[in-house]
Structure 1
Amino acid sequence: MNRWDSAPLIRFFGGRKLLYILGILLIIGLNILVYTQVDFIFHPLVIFVETVALPIILSVVVYYLLRPIINLMESWKVKRIWAILITLLMVVGLITLLIVLIIPFLEKQFVSLAEELPSYLRDLVNSLDRWLRDSFLGSYYSNLFQDVDGLLNQLPDLGNYATQTVEGITTFITTVTNVIVALVTLPFILFYLLKDGHKLPEKIISFFPPRVRSEVTSIFKGIDHQLSAYIQGQIIVSFCIGVMMYIGFLIIGLDYALLLAAIASVTSVVPYLGPMIAITPALIIAIVTSPFMVLKLAFVWTVVQLLEGKFISPQIMGKSLHIHPVTIIFVLLTAGHLFGVIGIILAIPGYAIIKVFVTHLFYWFQRRYNRFAEEENQYQLPEK
């Protein structure tokens, strides 16, 4: 045997091919070092990726949402092209209905909440101040904060902050409007993705050597399953949370019920962190309204979270992702620090895709090692 094939660890990583692999990794590292010094050359490529990333991501999300409907219509003997057109027309009608009926109402509630937020904060500070002064900590509190009235007199400045916030939101909406021009390509990408998307993996697999095509096919199937389960399940779970929150807020008589329910529905896309973000504005409004409203809000929130955690999510999403909660928290924190809000939204599906690659790669190495271990045992002399 060659000296590079004698060590099990080296044979596990490819035997004589190990040197070639290390050389390739070294060349890749040198290329990365060179490219970082001339990154201005690739600036147009970065702009191109930033431009097409959003419509492609949205197209993939909508693709996984509409694919079951199109497959169902195909099972009813409807041609795929007609099934796609009918489904897209239904989606356009639904979006138009939302824009005409719901969006204006949400906009009014949002503007009203932004205008009344300073008064809510002032009432909240006053309530906390009275409670602390009347509590057993009153003497300590008075010594620490002798000029609370002066602090409260500064709160009208919150109106300026609120105005600046509204102006910032207006600027953000303007930016989003400009981005929408780029998203005009979304329907076209989505149409061809629905039409020929199922053929794309086969085209990609055909570029690989025949002996590894089964492994690549397995990877594609795993990625498809993970994305499909996460996207479809998360959208349904978010919708259910929004409906339950809206019904609960209406029952207890909480102000801005539809807006707060919509916030809870959108933020529920982010596991664990989303509910904490969503409850903050609702909790402020409940505290200012009355202590009894806080208890009613806590009851509604607890019931919804129990229903979502014990019944809805297990039935809809199941255990398809197989990701530990602690892992999810660290992934969200890291992705948020690196990529901001977009990173938080895409963290879990991105981690699921990487997990599929790593799992199959480890399985491939493990199978390769077992094969070499069996060959190594053949060279051992039998015991006397």
Structure 2
Amino acid sequence: MNRLAAWLGVALLAVLVFWWLAPVLAPFVVAAVMAYVLNPLVHKLVRVTGGRLPHLLAVVLVECVALFALLGLVLLLVPIFMREIPMLQQQIPVLLDKLDATLQPLMAQMGVSVSLDLTELKTQLMDYLSDNREDWWDPLMSSLKMGGNAALALAGFVVLVPVALFYLLKDWAGLMDAVTHLVPPAWRPVFDRFMADCDTVLGEYLRGQLLVMLCLAVYYAVGLRLFGLELAIPIGIFTGLAVFVPYLGFGLGLVLALLAGLLQLASSQALLMVAVVFGLGQLIESFVLTPRLVGERIGLHPLAVILALMAFGQLLGFVGVLIALPASAVLLVALRRLRQQYLSSALYQKSGTDSTEEGADQA
């Protein structure tokens, strides 16, 4: 009993430390998730080459391929911005005039007779979007001063993730051995079986999540294209692949599609396109794809998937959303084992025996 209380205390302390350091641990958590995914590829690359390829070189190759793939995902945004910035220069005055013409009648109906002067706003926006600005350095530095902490955090994230990923991939086997040696020898068989079950469940989760991303990339690209959006393919692919980060990828894709739609289509058609494609896409993802392709693979009920995302997001913010389903999968394995132990325990067996004997006595 004392040993169990000690282990529960250690687990509680670890959870509290993790919750307290969640913002700092974000790049390391991302690197750990990537290392878990990429480590089998490193070993497979070494095995395919018959051991002629050094492990360190295999780590570098796999990490470079992974980082270039992520860079390619980011570069999907380049044609979007290259196309939309010149269109913004042309359409902003028209959009602001339409906004003025729409707001004035609404304000008049509410008894407010105010004429909106958007000339200065149009001038400033066009000035910022101009390719010939000569004084761009001052506002840039001012923006960096205002958002310095966010910029430093982003820069630290971009630098720390590749560095942490390299060391985790290089020393993965040693780290796993170090963790295993901390487990008491008497518990080692149970621990090994538990970790094997967790590895199986997490593998199913990653494969299911990949299927969700591919399905959504095709859906958003086709859906936006059916509405006639010229940038449907890059925006759709980016949105589908970026849903690996819940909410953030969906929100960014929605904003890009809305902006592109307002610049190319009529405002009513753009709003209808976003409402239909992204509204239906969110329903399909939340209630069909993720529960079926991810939840069923790891044994989580659809309601449990939604609850896990909300609960971990509330507790740990962005990091919690990122690890919600993998952590829930591990907890599910633990709960299954606890249930098996309870069903085979003397407490459960004795209670069942007592109930049977009591029924026989009454008969």
TM-score (norm 2): 0.64
| RMSD, matched Cα | 5.4
> Which of these residues, 17, 31, 37, is aligned with residue 64 of structure 1?
37
2:77 is equivalent to residue 106 of structure 1: yes
TM-superposed deviation, 1:190: 0.8
CA deviations 1:275-320 (Å, max 9, x no partner) are 4663244235424522445555667658877987899768964711
Is 1:230 the counterpart of 2:230? The answer is no
Secondary structure class of the residue paired with 2:171: helix
The answer to whether the aligner puts 1:189 opposite 2:168 as a matched pair is yes
Contact 2:298 2:329 in 1 (8 A): yes
> What secondary structure, in the 3-state scheme, does the structure 2 residue paired with 1:323 have?
coil
Q: 1:123 aligns with which of 88, 95, 110?
A: 95
**2:291 pairs with 1:329:** no
- Equivalent residue, structure 2, for 1:319: 296
Q: 1:174 to 1:158 in 2, by over 3 A?
A: farther
Q: How does 1:142-291 map to 2 (within 5 A)?
A: 142-144=108-110, 146-147=112-113, 149-150=115-116, 167=144, 172-183=150-161, 184-193=163-172, 195=173, 203=181, 207-209=184-186, 212-242=187-217, 245-246=220-221, 249=224, 253-254=228-229, 256-257=231-232, 260-261=235-236, 263-270=238-245, 275=250, 278-287=253-262, 289-290=265-266, 291=268
Partner Cα separation in structure 2 for residue 226 and residue 111 of structure 1: 42
Q: Which has the larger radius of gyration?
A: 1
Residue type matched to 2:50 in 1?
V
CA–CA distance in 2 between the matches of 1:52 and 1:172? 16
Please state how far the C-alpha of 1:252 moved relative to its aligned partner: 5.1
Report the AA paired with residue 306 of structure 2.
I
Residue type of the alignment partner of 1:337: Q
Is the contact between residue 246 and residue 322 of structure 2 (CA under 8 Å) also seen in structure 1? no
Distance 2:223 2:159 in 1: 38
- Which of the numbers 314, 332, 342 marks the counterpart of 1:355? 332
Give the match's secondary structure for 2:299. coil
Cα distance in 2 between the residues matched to 1:351 and 1:260 = 31
Asked if 2 retains the 8 angstrom alpha-carbon contact of 1:270 and 1:344, the reply is yes
Distance in 2 of aligned mates of 1:314 and 1:80: 43
Whole-Å Cα distance in 2 between the matches of residues 377 and 313 of structure 1? 42
Give the TM-score normalised by the residue count of structure 1.
Answer: 0.61
Report the Cα distance in structure 1 between the residues aligned to 2:198 and 2:165, rounded to whole angstroms: 22
Partner of 1:3: none
How far apart, in 1, do the equivalents of 2:356 and 2:211 lie? Answer: 55
Task: Please give the alpha-carbon distance, in whole angstroms, between the structure 2 residues aligned to 1:333 and 1:158.
Answer: 40
- Alignment length (residue pairs): 339
Deviation at 1:322, TM superposition (A): 3.0
Q: Which amino acid aligns with 1:225?
A: T
2: CA distance between counterparts of 1:325 and 1:143?
47
**Deviation of 1:364 (Å):** 1.8
Q: Is the counterpart of residue 364 in structure 1 residue 348 in structure 2?
A: no
Indicate conservation of the 8 Å contact 2:46/2:53, yes or no. Answer: no
Alignment CA distance shift 1:239-1:201 (3 Å): farther
Secondary structure at the aligned position of 1:62 is classed as helix
Over the matched positions of the two proteins, sequence identity in percent amounts to 18
SS in 2 for 1:320: helix
Letter in 1 for 2:330: I
- What letter matches 1:92 in structure 2? C
Structure 1 residue runs of 5 or longer lacking an equivalent are 1-16, 33-38
By how many angstroms is 1:82 displaced?
4.9
* Residues in 1 aligned to 2:102 and 2:114: alpha-carbon distance in whole angstroms: 11
Query: What is the CA-CA distance between 1:61 and the residue it aligns to?
Result: 2.6
Distance change in 2, residues 1:147/1:232 (3 Å):
farther
The unaligned stretches of length 5 or more in structure 2 are 130-138
Distance 1:322 1:119, change over 3 A: farther
In the TM superposition, residue 130 of structure 1 has moved relative to its aligned partner by 3.8
CA deviation map 1:170-189 (0-9, x unaligned): 86454333344444242121
How many angstroms apart in 2 are the aligned matches of 1:121 and 1:170?
A: 32
